[in-house]
Amino acid sequence: MPNRDCRVGFMWNTAFDSFDYGDRHPLRPGRFRMIRDYLDSAGLLASANVVEIEAEPLSMAVLERVHSSEYVESVRRISQTGEGEIDIDTPGFRGIYENALMLSGATVTGVRAVLSGHVEHFLSPTGGFHHAKFERGGGFCVFNDIAAAVHELKQHGLNRILVADFDVHHGNGDQAYFYDDPEVMVISFHEDPEWMYPHEGYVNEIGSGRGVGYNINMPFPMDAGDSVYRYAFDELVPKLIDLFRPQFILFLPGFDAHYLDRLAHLKLTTTMTRYITGRIHNAAHKWSEGRLGVVTGGGYHPDSLCWGVASVMSVLSGREYSPPRQNPPFKDDEETWRTVHETVDQVKDSVFPVLGI
């Protein structure tokens, strides 16, 4: 990867951690401060080419375009009383409406900073709420910042937007928003939906109408590791990106696919995080004039989450960072390789002919 001193915006607001899903919920208060402190301790925020950008809450104009008025009003009611739930895994609390506006607004603030030329890339310690749909939330997601960011980009005349989603859970909300939209290509690498929430994201879900072929799902078997993941990436993603020639890339690195993560079963290391980030970063400079936004998404082990975010910032900023040595408990075996080979071939057969690859 060539050395570049790219201008990188780090999104921040002290209100990020103003949430409380309860003591036993995987999302814990202090999560975002922990990420910021780790990046700071690693020297990744002190570089001259890294600037802190104050996140602003999502505007009503954008919110009302990406969510139904009934759903927005239900979140407001829960926020006022602290009673009720967004979904079974996303309990309500007092102030959830304001917190969700800030967390999703950070992504849109970052998009605007890139479009203005203030920075080439942004990295947010939050964002990636890809389970929220037009009329409901869930999966720890209240308002869909990716949909809001795409709306913002389209308002500025962009019509080829790539959502590169490597979160271990399929982005069913994003898929629902853009399923028939040829101006948004969604590439999702995730654990097999047969047993993994949200039980969507099968290979045959390739889009509809004018959007056929622009929704790409690559599910992985349990215990898949770096080797098969890199194979699938190299076989699929560069060809898709080069065909689509995105004008802006929204990137979820997939920190919860790490072998230490508590909510999934893949066995990746930050070596793969760095590899994928490098390829996406290069693609942004090749096709998108460097315009790249990174949102954190999941990641529920504090160490692997911090290592992953630091690896991404290292690639974007060109600054050195090396995480601790990692030793996943399994290597990719013959059965895993066979399954991934077959799935990659199915993805190619499903979307490549439609797209003319």
Residues noted as catalytic: 131
DSSP state of 90: E
Return d(Cα 260, Cα 252) in angstroms, integer.
18
Structure tokens at 357: 């690859």
| CA angle at 50 for the pair 115 and 44, rounded to the nearest 5° | 140
Residue found under tokens 């999502």:
58
The b-or-e profile of 153-165 (16+ CB within 10 A means b, else e) is beeeebebbbbbb
**Alpha-carbon gap, residue 158 to 154, rounded angstroms:** 5
Cβ–Cβ contacts within 10 Å for residue 48, how many?
8
Beta strands in 243-296 (DSSP E): 248-252, 292-295
* Amino acid letter for position 61: A
Distance in angstroms between the alpha carbons of the first and the last residue of the chain:
26
Cβ atoms 145, 173 nearer than 8 A: no
One-character DSSP codes across 283-342 = HHHHHSTT-EEEE-----SHHHHHHHHHHHHHHHHT----PPP---S----HHHHHHHHH
194-to-110, 197, 260, 264, 336 alpha-carbon distances in Å? 35, 8, 21, 13, 16
Identify whether the C-beta of residue 336 lies closer than 8 Å to the C-beta of residue 221. Answer: yes
